[in-house]
Amino acid sequence: MTIDQISVFLENKPGRLAQITDILNKNDIDISAISIADTTNFGIVRMIVNRPGLAIKAIRNAGFTVNTAQVLAVEVPDSPGGLHYVLDILNKENISIEYLYSFVRRPSQKALILFRVGDIERSIKTLTEMDINILTSDRIYEL
C-alpha cells in the first residue's frame, strides 16, 4: 500500500537539482512526482520515480546522500473541501503529517496527494475504512 519515496540531500547551490535530473534522464528513469523543501543553506528533494532501486544506486554513486521513506498516495476529491475531508479524518485519529505534496498527473477526476505520516499502518486502516482510495506503486508507475 505504501510507495517508496527517494529523498536526496542538496546544498543550495546553482545546478545541483539539474545534476539529479541529469542522472535520472541518463538512466531512463521517469519522475512522477517531485517536491523540494528548502532552508537557507540546504534542501531536500523528494521524488517518486518508476524505478526507485536503480535511481538510488545511480544517485548514490554520483556522491549524493540518499534515503528512502514510505509515503501514501491518496486519492482526494478534486472539489472544495476535498483535501480538508481527508486531513480531518487523520486529525481525528491524531495521526501527524510530516509533509504532503501532489501529483501532477491524475488517474481519474480526483486529485492525487502524497502523504508522509507519523503512523502508516493506522493511516491506511483509517482511510480505507472511510472508503478513501490509496494507490499502490504499480498503479502509480503506470500513470
What single string gives the DSSP state of each residue in 69-116? EEEEEEEE-SSTTHHHHHHHHHHHTT--EEEEEE-SS-SSSSEEEEEE
Least Å from the CB of residue 7 to other proteins: 4
What is the grid cell recorded at 3?
A: 510507495
Binding map of other proteins across residues 86-115, x = CB under 8 A, - = no contact: ------------xx----------------
- Determine if 14 is a binding residue for other proteins (CB under 8 A): no
Candidates 3-11, 78-86, 102-110, 121-129: pick the segment binding other proteins (CB under 8 A). Answer: 3-11
CA distances from residue 69 to 35, 41, 82, 117, 127 in whole angstroms, order as listed: 14, 22, 25, 10, 20
Least Å from the CB of residue 59 to other proteins: 11
Nearer of residues 61 and 79 to other proteins, judged by Cβ: 61
What pairing do the DSSP bridges indicate for beta strands 42-49 and 31-38? antiparallel
Which residues contact other proteins by CB under 8 A?
A: 5, 7, 9-11, 16, 37, 39, 41-42, 44, 46, 63-67, 69, 98-99, 116
